[in-house]
Amino acid sequence: MEKKYLVGTFAVLVMAVIVLGIGGIMNTLPVPEGVGQGIKYNSNVCVYKNEELIGCQHNVITNGGLDMVKTSLGEGTSNVITDLALGNEQAPAAGDSALPGLYEDSGLTKASGAYNSNGVGNWSVAHTWTSTGDNKVVNTTGLYKDGGNLFAGTSFASTTLQTDDQIKVNYTIWVTGS
């Protein structure tokens, strides 16, 4: 009876040594070129009031934005992400599906931005609004899927718009292999 347990224990030990040995060999093998590279999202958002730069910021890509990338690349669907919006609240967070404090009046409503290709993996989307109201404080912006959810957004230095003031938002986005 003791010999059965001894043989069984010995068999388990041999298998463990083989598995650990193979794992050690696998960790020392060279990684094929291209393996381990992924897509990295980068973005710079610049905001101008009456053609004067207010500032440039990086933005947060939302969970909905990550899903838009997933469906575009993984399922081959089209996600046109060219709508821009302005708001007056806190910066959007990854879980937001809409820009907090989204403006829906005074000429500051969500609008389709102009798309521009800036080279391989690099593009921009820009729009200029003209305020039709006074004392409109603006401090956030968002990039949307055409007719859909928030893709990305950020905050910038608060600026107060008066009637006929113009504000321009320019999202420059580039993807790289990391």
Q: Which pLDDT value is given to residue 69?
A: 83
Whether residue 10 sits in one domain with residue 97: no
Q: Which pLDDT value is given to residue 167?
A: 98
Q: Which pLDDT value is given to residue 169?
A: 98
Q: In the chain, which stretches have pLDDT less than 70? A: 1-37, 178
How far is Cα 81 from Cα 72, in angstroms, rounded to an integer?
11
Whether residue 82 sits in one domain with residue 25: no
Whether residue 170 sits in one domain with residue 118: yes
Strands (E), the chain: 39-49, 52-57, 60-61, 83-87, 111-112, 114-117, 122-130, 136-144, 150-161, 166-177
Whether residue 66 sits in one domain with residue 20: no
> For residue 11, what are the domain limits?
1-30
Q: Which pLDDT value is given to residue 107?
A: 98
Q: Which pLDDT value is given to residue 178?
A: 60
Whether residue 109 sits in one domain with residue 129: yes
Whether residue 70 sits in one domain with residue 125: yes
Whether residue 4 sits in one domain with residue 63: no
Whether residue 90 sits in one domain with residue 17: no
Closest to 103 measured CA to CA, from 67, 69, 127? 127
Whether residue 14 sits in one domain with residue 87: no
Edge-to-edge strand ranges of the sheet holding 52-57: 52-57, 39-49, 166-177, 122-130, 114-117
pTM equals 0.74
Q: Which pLDDT value is given to residue 147?
A: 81
Whether residue 105 sits in one domain with residue 166: yes
Whether residue 167 sits in one domain with residue 94: yes
Residue 89 tokens read as 């609240």
Closest to 43 measured CA to CA, from 128, 110, 121? 121
Whether residue 77 sits in one domain with residue 24: no
Residues 148 and 98: beta-carbon distance below 8 Å: no
Number of domains in the chain: 2
